[in-house]
């Protein structure tokens, strides 16, 4: 059937309407008229596959990757970069409205990636029965991949080496630099922009900084100079060991569950003399913050809370709670992963 695409939802699928229901179609652009086949009928919506484009969008471009459309990694290579950002910006705003209950989310402009391809400093490939690559989209079947155009050349060189070595079945993380095996932001240029942003947002805060989910101290290392005390918490022992390596006397890194440790640390801030101007950064995994952690943050109310998120849906869910105790000053999306559906964002909250 012919469909008028009115929007592109978070995750990358185009949205249209047919038979009184929403229809989701991948690899289309808002404003396009397309011909699509309905592949699945659900209670509340339909799923379709693109057959042909009747009226293309002026934002349509040629995907650079031969695996695009099959590989589960990228969803936006057919859209020019500026429009990718416009769509993602709208997706964040809509999510904050719908799930976060924020009528007018204080959205800042997108921080773009200076490079649209060749940015990933690490990829994880899977090997099974001689097939080396990524998963097909919406499948657990493996797609054989020779080269990934969103990865740095060095990462692709390692992929070629791995392929030549006839590896055993398993998962292999290929990294552009021999960094320790701990979490590291995947796009160096956007990671640097994120540090600048968080540094700027923290303005004149100088008291104590708690860096929750600190990894190897990505934020703490940048900020340690201006805070009297920095406490990093992460349950990854290797990350904490790496953070401790060059720690100053004002830095403390604790290998623990944030859920168990955050309350005690916030209590010690609250009882310390000269409180005020204290800040907490949280950078949790995609699942967001637990109920206990939200309650702890609301009970002890640090002066400023920076919430760095890799999942707009859980960010919105958590802001819906946090807004009872904090004022939300701004939400800045960052494009850590061009061509993909992923969105990173930093929210700035004040007690
Ligand atoms: C998105 S990464 C952020 C790391 C760091 N902020 C950075 O930018 O490099 C999330 C981190 O949270 C840690 N983590 C996840 N759940 C945790 C928990 N319940 N308690 C402590 N650390 C946790 C992981 O080990 C990982 O290092």
88-128 residue pLDDT tens: 999 999 999 999 999 999 999 999 999 999 999 999 999 99
**Contact criterion met (CB below 8 Å) for 65 and 148:** yes
Give me the pLDDT at residue 178, please.
73
196 lines ligand 1 (CB under 6 A): no
Q: Using the mean position of ligand 1's atoms as its centre, give its distance from the Cα of residue 213 in Å.
A: 4
pLDDT, tens digit (0-9, with 9 covering 90-100), for 204-220: 778 899 999 999 999 99
288 lines ligand 1 (CB under 6 A): no
pLDDT, tens digit (0-9, with 9 covering 90-100), for 42-89: 999 999 999 999 999 999 999 999 999 999 999 999 999 999 999 999
The residue-averaged pLDDT of 16-28 equals: 96
Counting ligand 1 atoms within 8 A of each CB, the residue from 231, 281, 285 with the most, and so the one to mutate, is 285
The residue-averaged pLDDT of 283-297 equals: 97
Q: Which fold has domain 188-350?
A: Rossmann fold (3.40.50)
pLDDT greater than 80 at residue 308 = yes
The residue-averaged pLDDT of 294-302 equals: 95
Atom of ligand 1 nearest to the CA of 290: 19
Q: Using the mean position of ligand 1's atoms as its centre, give its distance from the Cα of residue 100 in Å.
A: 23
Q: Using the mean position of ligand 1's atoms as its centre, give its distance from the Cα of residue 272 in Å.
A: 26
Contacts for 333 with CB less than 8 Å, ≥ 6 apart? 88, 89, 92, 107, 108, 110, 111, 312, 343, 344, 345
- pLDDT band at residue 273 under the 50/70/90 scheme: low
User: Where do the structural domains in the chain lie, given as residue ranges?
Assistant: 1-60, 122-175, 188-350
CATH of 1-60, one of 3.40.50.2300, 2.40.37.10, 2.40.50.140, 3.40.640.10: 2.40.50.140
Instruction: Report the alpha-carbon distance of residue 191 to residue 108 in Å, rounded.
Output: 17
Environment class of 211 (CB within 10 Å of its CB; exposed 0-12, middle 13-18, buried 19+): buried
Instruction: Report the alpha-carbon distance of residue 75 to residue 72 in Å, rounded.
Output: 8
310 is catalytic: yes
pLDDT greater than 90 at residue 35 = yes
- pLDDT band at residue 184 under the 50/70/90 scheme: confident
- pLDDT band at residue 270 under the 50/70/90 scheme: low
Q: Using the mean position of ligand 1's atoms as its centre, give its distance from the Cα of residue 37 in Å.
A: 42
26 lines ligand 1 (CB under 6 A): no
Q: Residue 32: which of 10, 75, 3 has the closest Cα?
A: 3
Question: What angle, rounded to 10 degrees, do the helices at 291-300 and 312-322 form?
Answer: 40
Give me the pLDDT at residue 276, please.
55
Atom of ligand 1 nearest to the CA of 310: 1
The pTM (predicted TM-score) of the whole model is 0.95
């Amino acid at each position: 059937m012919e469909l008028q695409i009115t929007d592109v939802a978070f995750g990358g699928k185009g949205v249209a309407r047919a038979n009184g229901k929403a229809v989701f179609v991948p690899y289309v652009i808002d404003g396009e008229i397309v011909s699509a086949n309905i592949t699945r009928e659900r209670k509340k919506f339909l799923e379709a596959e693109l057959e042909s484009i009747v009226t293309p969008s002026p934002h349509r471009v040629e995907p650079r990757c031969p695996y695009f459309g099959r590989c589960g990694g990228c969803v936006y290579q057919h859209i020019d970069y500026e429009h990718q950002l416009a769509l993602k910006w709208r997706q964040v705003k809509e999510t904050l409205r719908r799930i976060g209950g924020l009528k007018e989310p204080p959205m800042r402009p997108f921080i773009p990636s200076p490079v649209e391809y060749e940015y990933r400093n690490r990829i994880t490939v899977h090997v099974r029965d001689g097939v080396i690559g990524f998963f097909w989209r919406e499948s657990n079947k493996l797609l054989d991949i020779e080269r990934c155009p969103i990865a740095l050349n060095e990462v692709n060189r390692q992929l070629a080496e791995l392929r030549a070595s006839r590896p055993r079945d398993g998962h292999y993380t290929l990294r552009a630099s021999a960094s320790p095996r701990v979490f590291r932001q995947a796009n160096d240029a956007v990671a640097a922009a994120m540090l600048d942003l968080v540094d700027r947002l923290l303005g004149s805060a100088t008291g104590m900084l708690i860096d929750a989910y600190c990894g190897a101290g990505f934020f703490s290392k940048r900020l340690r100079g201006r805070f009297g005390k920095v406490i990093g918490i992460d349950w990854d022992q290797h990350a904490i060991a790496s953070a401790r390596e060059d720690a100053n006397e004002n830095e403390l890194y604790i290998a623990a569950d944030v859920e168990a440790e955050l309350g005690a640390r916030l209590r010690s801030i609250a009882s310390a003399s000269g409180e005020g101007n204290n800040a907490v950064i949280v950078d949790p995994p995609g699942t967001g913050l637990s109920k206990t952690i939200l309650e702890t943050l609301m009970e002890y109310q640090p002066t400023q809370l920076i919430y760095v998120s890799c999942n707009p849906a859980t960010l919105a869910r958590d802001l819906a709670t946090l807004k009872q105790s904090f004022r939300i000053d701004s939400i800045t999306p960052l494009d850590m992963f061009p061509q993909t559906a992923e969105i990173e964002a930093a929210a700035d909250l004040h007690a």
